[in-house]
Structure 1
Amino acid sequence: MPKVTFVQMDGAEHAVKVAAGTTVLEAAKANDLPMVGTCGGSMVCATCHVKICAADRARLPPPTEDEEDTLDLAFGVTADSRLGCQIELTDALEGIRIQLTSTM
């Protein structure tokens, strides 16, 4: 079970252990963290937009073209942006830090 840290917009940190194979969206919802995920992970709304620092991003597979297209709908997209519904948490991602963003 990888331990991951969610960082809220106000800087509050929440370290949680999740079952391997859980997506960032699922982990956030299971831990009552503020992530909307309106489309439930079908990659059409971008309301699970998160930011991952460069060091942690290098441990992730690159985003698909579909993910990049959906990210175009999100506010405040940067090179650190990813969709939480597309990041599957594994033991290899132990310690990853996930910055929550505003979806409003």
Structure 2
Amino acid sequence: MPNEGDDDGTGDEDTRELGVDIGSLDSALESHEYPTTVDELIEEFGDHEIELPGGETTVEEVLDTQSGEEFESADGVKQRILNDVGAEAVGREGYSDRGGSNEGESGGDPQSL
């Protein structure tokens, strides 16, 4: 993703994906040298906060369980973050837009149309 100018916090649409906002980490990851390991990423970016719809977390909290993994590009790191952010990045728990009912969901018997 090309960045034009400095991130002054007004470009949320550039760094927010699937409800996860990595902010200035986006450009930092793009300029980081690859291949790199999780341990190197945690050492350099571990304290960086990632904003989620239900709160925030850090790079270290997200990547800590991936010790030993190696990344070939910034895109790989960003995808891993999106995959591993946890339940606080999810909208309504138990919600499905696929129809039917979820287990444990209260309600009447399904009706035939």
Larger Rg: 2
- Name the one with the larger strand percent: 1
TM-score (ref. length: structure 2): 0.26
Q: TM-score, normalised by structure 1?
A: 0.28
- Greater relative contact order: 1 or 2 (C-alpha under 8 angstroms, separation 6 or more)? 1
